[in-house]
Structure 1
Amino acid sequence: MARDTSDDTPITSRDDLVERLATGAKPRSAWRIGTEHEKVGFRRADFSPVPYEGRGGIRQLLDGMAGLLGWEPILDRGLPIGLADPAGGGAISLEPGGQFELSGAPLETLHQTCAETFSHMAQVREIADPLGIGFLGLGISPVWSLADTPVMPKSRYAIMSSYMPKVGSRGLDMMFRTATVQVNLDFGSEADMVAKMRVSVALQPIATALFANSPVLDGRPTGRLSERSEIWRDTDNARSGMVPFVFEDGFGFERYVDWAIDVPMYFVKRGDTYHEATDVTFRQYMSGALRNRVPDGMPTRGDWDNHLSTLFPEVRLKRFLEMRGADSGPTRRILALPAFWVGLLYDDVALAAAWDVVKDWTAEERQTLRDRVPTTALATPFRGRTVLEIAREVLAISREGLRRRAVVNGQGADETTYLAPLEETVALGRTPAELLLDKLAGPWKGDLSNVFRDYAY
């Protein structure tokens, strides 16, 4: 999760909230690619989880990374909970269970994303290896129970941990045991945002199927191929899901604001203090509901930005769009996720072709697809076809979009090279999750300790 902001510019009206989203619109020349990926840490000696404190702990890892990179510590009550790159705009942060996340800098090309990702992995290994820490390229922590999982000392997570069981059965699993890869992409105007939002929401289940990589939890197969995606189906439905209003006539910044302001808040941040606010919507906050509970208890731009970051739809709108449907995986698949969406959304011909694929899908069909894909992934039936066939069609559109971008690296390769893992998946007709299950049932003979060797970065 991103670093919480503290912009104290007052918010005085709904129009201010709409304008804040609208300021995200950028000319095509300023469109960037921001890739985020989470990694589940473990102790190499005994495959146990990595605590925050102590020798070989997450705090020591962060301290080592700070010394290596020269990035600024992000503190919470004096404790380091992340690092910020003051020059490039990237950040390292901790998810609630210690998942180690890179929020990549906004970059122009996928080749730059590739360089950033491989550099980050090498830097992490340089510090983590002497500490005996390894990291898994999976979408979920496959073995440890919630009770076994460490808790990071981040104030917002304490508020969320208390609130989550009140609004769903899987919120703590989401926080402490899942890992994702996502890409943040820009839009050129409100109309462009709408077009990209509709295509990406409709196709998010296709991405979930292609990247399904979390079939094991609590030491055994769950019967699903993306347990991470299934967890999101009952985490907090007031702020999650397929946001069907995106497809209504007249959708735009105002309609998203109208949804967002009626979702309960998590907190208000003043200075270094987080004030719990889960009983109040942002609309009520604007009407003075926290005036007597929070210093300067009227909303600011920072409060709005923080609230938007606590909404969890399949595609999240801030001043950019966040694709949120994929399980984390090995490095090549981390790169495949931004490649897939850049090819679809950053080329006008591809965007139009993708819309042609999904434009007559009904809200019920989109939801049914979302509900079924975590279990059956590419084998999920849809309109007399399968998700595999749709994925093959959409992947071809993405490839052509990247080809038309014609961005080559020093070896003369264009950005289509990063789609290779997905093309392998489509050719096999089998997800990474199914390949893992094959190993578990075959050469591993049911011994999941092998996952810490075969699936480590």
Structure 2
Amino acid sequence: MSNPGESDPTPITSARQLAEWFAAGSKPRERWRIGTEHEKFGFRRADLAPPPYEPGGIRAMLEGLMRFGWEPILDRGNPIGLKRGEASVSLEPGGQFELSGAPLASLQETRDEIADHLREVREVAGPLGLGFAPLGFHPLARREDMPWMPKGRYAIMRQYMPRVGSMGLDMMLRTCTVQVNLDFGDEADMVEKLRVSLALQPLATALFANSPFSEGRPNGYRSLRAKVWTDTDPDRTGIPAVVFEDGFGFERFADWVLDVPMYFIMREGQWIDAAGMSFRAFLEGRAEKLKGHAATMGDWADHVTTVFTDVRLKRFLEMRGADAGAPAFLTALPAFWVGLIYDDAAQKAARALTREWSVAEIVALRNAVPEQALEASIRGRRLRDVARDVLAIARDGLKARGLGEEMFLDPLDAVVATGQTQADRWLERCATAWGGDVARIFSEAAI
């Protein structure tokens, strides 16, 4: 695997190149694929503590998985990820184990890929005395209890995060998500998809809410993970208003990303701290920390990965609003978005439903759902009622694909029918069967 920043040494000679980088992701419909990613917390079965990198922890997991044909990705000699075909396994800063799935044609393939990965993880984790649980926020560990993985980029981010938000280190160490990467046809299609998915991302947050506990007790939120993102780094997170402005497209987005502060560049296998300097300053030779280095397209590609908006535009769209959850929910997330934006009629219906929502209203909804989930409202409508309409659109979109994928929305229909998110069910379990013992969530949530 190429080192970040060194995969494309092409010099940047104009801002137009940056917009063209995004535009190169445009694909005809027959090449649209589904790429699903999810993270999960490791825990030692003996004491439920998060496992260290080594000994007997995350490094051993990576090495154990190599028997299934995974090849190591190294950082200064340490395995920090795995690659197999178009899929990869990577580590979040606190050792959260992430599967970045291959681009697949159907949700059935997505389901099978996730099942195969979870089986491999169980086979390796068992003899090590480890377990893994997909939850939105770590239910027991304090921030200082979490280990740090030996990835060079994380050392830079660790120093920078407390300067721009109070919860950035919690985001790095104590959160897990599920997301899906989806394609667009051309610039106009990208704009429509991005507007629909940003407007409905708070609904996804509510439907997938799965982080009601922290440090061994209820925390007052259905999705503490989503709350964390509201105080991580305002320069690179949230719902960028530029997306909803007239004339928005690849050039406008590239121009916005130019002013997002950087974290780093890589040269000759070494990370160089650029934290706080905008990419625009780097490009114009005004970044004091980067004197003597010329910006490359590889640097741009790395920088785009540090933009953490609720939907991230790269050469595809990343839907980033959901807590990690039970395996059925790991497949429900791509089903939700594929149904909404991979069928023209469904996409138009979703856009019609959200077209009149202002950016201020969407942001207010985003701020309400971490605590209220489906009880939040927009324009006088409960989000639970909005969800019924949106799920009907998504189901019609999946039916139109003709692949028998509608069943993957069933867990979300159940959430809306009962009004109970995964978080609500855990809170009920804690108050009844667990007798208030939050630690019991690991045995029930383990994959």
Instruction: Report SS of the residue matched to 1:97.
Output: coil
Corresponding residue for 2:54? 53
Relative to 1, partners in 2 of residues 1:421 and 1:292: Cα closer, same or farther, differing over 3 Å? closer
Q: Is the 8 A contact 1:170 1:235 kept in 2?
A: yes
Aligned structure 1 segments of 4 or more residues deviating by more than 6 angstroms:
none
Q: Is the 8 A contact 2:207 2:412 kept in 1?
A: yes
Corresponding residue for 1:318? 314
| Aligned-pair CA distance for 1:271 | 2.8
| Aligned-pair CA distance for 1:289 | 3.3
Residue 453 (structure 1) aligned with residue 439 (structure 2): no
Alignment partner of 1:238 out of 230, 235, 238: 235
Residue 365 (structure 1) aligned with residue 366 (structure 2): no
Corresponding residue for 1:435? 425
Q: Is the 8 A contact 1:84 1:90 kept in 2?
A: yes
Distance (Å, rounded) in 1 between the aligned partners of 2:236 and 2:165 = 11
Identity value in percent: 55
Corresponding residue for 2:393? 397
Q: Deviations for 1:75-101, whole angstroms, at most 9, x for unmatched residues? A: 11110100112xx31100000000000
Q: Is the 8 A contact 1:290 1:298 kept in 2?
A: no
Q: Is the 8 A contact 2:368 2:376 kept in 1?
A: yes
Q: Is the 8 A contact 1:93 1:101 kept in 2?
A: yes
Distance (Å, rounded) in 2 between the aligned partners of 1:213 and 1:4 = 32
AA aligned opposite 1:42: F
Residue 270 (structure 1) aligned with residue 267 (structure 2): yes
Distance (Å, rounded) in 2 between the aligned partners of 1:136 and 1:80 = 22
Alignment partner of 2:152 out of 132, 144, 155: 155
Instruction: Report SS of the residue matched to 2:153.
Output: helix
Instruction: Report SS of the residue matched to 2:114.
Output: helix
1:327-342 matched pairs, under 5 angstroms? 327-342=323-338
| Aligned-pair CA distance for 1:217 | 1.0
Corresponding residue for 2:76? 77
| Aligned-pair CA distance for 1:45 | 1.2
| Aligned-pair CA distance for 1:357 | 0.7
1:113-124 matched pairs, under 5 angstroms? 113-124=110-121
Distance (Å, rounded) in 2 between the aligned partners of 1:292 and 1:427 = 54
Corresponding residue for 2:13? 12
Distance (Å, rounded) in 2 between the aligned partners of 1:128 and 1:239 = 35
| Aligned-pair CA distance for 1:5 | 4.9
Corresponding residue for 2:65? 65
Corresponding residue for 1:309? 305
Alignment partner of 1:381 out of 363, 377, 382: 377
Q: Deviations for 1:153-172, whole angstroms, at most 9, x for unmatched residues? A: 00111100100000000000
- Return 267-276 or 172-181, whichever deviates more: 267-276
AA aligned opposite 1:27: P
Distance (Å, rounded) in 1 between the aligned partners of 2:227 and 2:289 = 39
1:33-44 matched pairs, under 5 angstroms? 33-44=34-45
Relative to 1, partners in 2 of residues 1:3 and 1:321: Cα closer, same or farther, differing over 3 Å? farther
Distance (Å, rounded) in 2 between the aligned partners of 1:291 and 1:148 = 36
Relative to 1, partners in 2 of residues 1:246 and 1:3: Cα closer, same or farther, differing over 3 Å? farther
Corresponding residue for 1:112? 109
Instruction: Report SS of the residue matched to 1:147.
Output: helix
Instruction: Report SS of the residue matched to 2:252.
Output: helix
| Aligned-pair CA distance for 1:290 | 4.8
Alignment partner of 2:284 out of 262, 280, 287: 287
| Aligned-pair CA distance for 1:384 | 2.2
Q: Deviations for 1:200-255, whole angstroms, at most 9, x for unmatched residues? A: 00000000000000011111111110000000000001000111111110000011
Relative to 1, partners in 2 of residues 1:427 and 1:282: Cα closer, same or farther, differing over 3 Å? same
Q: Is the 8 A contact 2:274 2:289 kept in 1?
A: no
Instruction: Report SS of the residue matched to 2:144.
Output: coil
- Return 161-170 or 69-78, whichever deviates more: 69-78
Distance (Å, rounded) in 2 between the aligned partners of 1:207 and 1:181 = 11
AA aligned opposite 2:36: T
How many residues align structurally? 445
Residue 219 (structure 1) aligned with residue 220 (structure 2): no
RMSD value, Cα? 1.3
Distance (Å, rounded) in 2 between the aligned partners of 1:205 and 1:338 = 15
AA aligned opposite 2:439: S
Distance (Å, rounded) in 1 between the aligned partners of 2:311 and 2:193 = 10
Q: Deviations for 1:367-387, whole angstroms, at most 9, x for unmatched residues? A: 110110110000112222200
Corresponding residue for 1:176? 173
Q: Is the 8 A contact 2:216 2:439 kept in 1?
A: no
Q: Deviations for 1:278-337, whole angstroms, at most 9, x for unmatched residues? A: 131111111123587466x11111110100000000000000000000000011100000
Instruction: Report SS of the residue matched to 1:38.
Output: strand
Q: Deviations for 1:378-403, whole angstroms, at most 9, x for unmatched residues? A: 01122222000011110110000000
- Return 171-180 or 42-51, whichever deviates more: 42-51
Distance (Å, rounded) in 1 between the aligned partners of 2:339 and 2:235 = 31
TM, length-normalised to structure 1: 0.96
TM, length-normalised to structure 2: 0.98
Instruction: Report SS of the residue matched to 2:393.
Output: helix
Distance (Å, rounded) in 1 between the aligned partners of 2:76 and 2:10 = 24
Q: Is the 8 A contact 2:139 2:439 kept in 1?
A: no
Corresponding residue for 1:410? none
Instruction: Report SS of the residue matched to 1:439.
Output: helix
Corresponding residue for 1:423? 413
Q: Is the 8 A contact 2:5 2:267 kept in 1?
A: no
AA aligned opposite 1:431: T
Instruction: Report SS of the residue matched to 2:265.
Output: strand
Q: Is the 8 A contact 2:324 2:330 kept in 1?
A: yes
AA aligned opposite 1:278: A
Q: Deviations for 1:18-43, whole angstroms, at most 9, x for unmatched residues? A: 11000000000111110000010000
AA aligned opposite 2:197: S
Q: Is the 8 A contact 1:264 1:282 kept in 2?
A: yes
Corresponding residue for 1:132? 129
